[in-house]
Amino acid sequence: MNLYVTLENLVKWMAEYSLILFEVVGVVVIAVAGVCGVVNYIRRDPLTRLKLAKGMAMGLEFKLGGEILRTVVVRDLSEIMIVGAIILLRAALTFLIHWEIKNEEEDNEVNLVNKTPSEHHKG
């Protein structure tokens, strides 16, 4: 029985620290994507929305991973329901961002095709 408790505590400890790491990485990725988005917007980069959306999606993936790990350490039903709701919300946000990325990529492809040959050489 003592080994079981020790292993359970080890898994709980690993999950707690891993979820903190995932949460921090997610926040950093989103923050960096936001700063890069502002810089790209100022530079009038036509791919600003696409780059920002990809950065946000990556950050949300890390945050979602942290929430999934949180299910390992929660003990009562109300906490599990809250974590489940957060997971669903973040998954929905991730889905919407991926949908926006897909549409933005399609728009960029259409814009590239509609450019004249001389415009291709300009940049």
pLDDT, position 68: 87
pLDDT, position 26: 96
Residue-level pLDDT, tens digit, the chain, 123 residues: 698 889 988 988 999 999 999 999 999 999 999 999 999 999 999 889 999 999 999 999 999 999 888 888 888 888 888 988 988 998 899 899 989 888 888 888 877 777 755 555 554
Please state the domain extents for the chain: 2-111
pLDDT, position 32: 98
Rounded-to-integer distance, Cα 18 and Cα 30, Å: 18
pLDDT, position 109: 81
Task: Return the HEC string of the chain.
Answer: CHHHHHHHHHHHHHHHHHHHHHHHHHHHHHHHHHHHHHHHHHCCCCCHHHHHHHHHHHHHHHHHHHHHHHHHHCCCHHHHHHHHHHHHHHHHHHHHHHHHHHHHHHHHHHHHHHCCHHHHCCC
pLDDT, position 116: 56
